[in-house]
Amino acid sequence: MSESAVVDKDAVGVGERQYHIAVAPGEVSSVALLPGDPFRVPLVAEFLTDVKTVAHNREHMTMTGWYKGRHITATSTGMGCPSTAIAVEELIRVGVTSFIRVGSSAGLQPGVKPGDLLVSEGALRNDGTTAAYAHHGFPAVPDLQIALTLAEIARELTSGTDAAVHSGINASDDAFYAETPEWIAELNRLGVLNVEMESAALYVVARLRGVRAGMICSTSSNLIDGTSLYSGVKEALKEGWMRSIEAALETAVRLEL
């Protein structure tokens, strides 16, 4: 085998329609909101004007539109760090320079209730994807200005409502059904605010590629008080999704992302 024939994945596909997200340069904006579920991309579009569906390939749906003079992209990542890393890598290739994940996450501390907003200040890397990118000691952290602005706007949006805003360290896990009571208790003991499955990859890839990233989630459940996804919390969760999307959009406007 010739060494020159080995494929360099950092070099192939640049400037072309991307293989997994099916998006080409010029079809998206400089900022992308990242829900996990493709069926939540249209929820972002509800806030936008001149909406266009750019692509829907595999778990990755992409729509664009305008919000208060800013061109906005929404692309679903699918579940977990592997598909998130692919989506972020390919969106960077087509021109995105700022990312805000708008997802669902389970609370791990007392007082966090379904529908509350969770702003990430960093992620505990309990995943396999980021280990392929960086030393295990490399931090998974958001852009500080994006995180602070998300929290500020989230507090403005929830003022006078029953929803609260919490900021802190979250965990990114790989295996949803392997989160044992012992692991949940350990995260709680460490003071970890919430657990989800995507942000570690988002943060590490963003840092290595020189772009910006942040995350605001709606609380789906609270794993230390027995409130699971199966506890009938869907309405509160959706209200939180909509507030998280609005907070992300307002952050994009305020920071001119």
On whether residue 8 sits in a domain, the answer given is no
In degrees and rounded to multiples of 5, residue 139 shows phi and psi of -75, 145
Domain CATH for 189: 3.40.50.1580
Tens-place pLDDT, residues 177-217: 999 999 999 999 999 999 999 999 999 999 999 999 999 99
User: Which pTM value belongs to this model?
Assistant: 0.96
CA-to-CA dists, residue 59 to 36, 187, 188, angstroms = 9, 29, 31
Tens-place pLDDT, residues 214-227: 999 999 999 999 88
On whether residue 35 sits in a domain, the answer given is yes
On whether residue 2 sits in a domain, the answer given is no
On whether residue 7 sits in a domain, the answer given is no
On whether residue 75 sits in a domain, the answer given is yes
Asked if 166 and 116 count as a contact pair (C-beta separation under 8 A), the reply is: yes
Domain residue limits at 158? 17-254
On whether residue 182 sits in a domain, the answer given is yes
Provide the domain count of the chain.
1
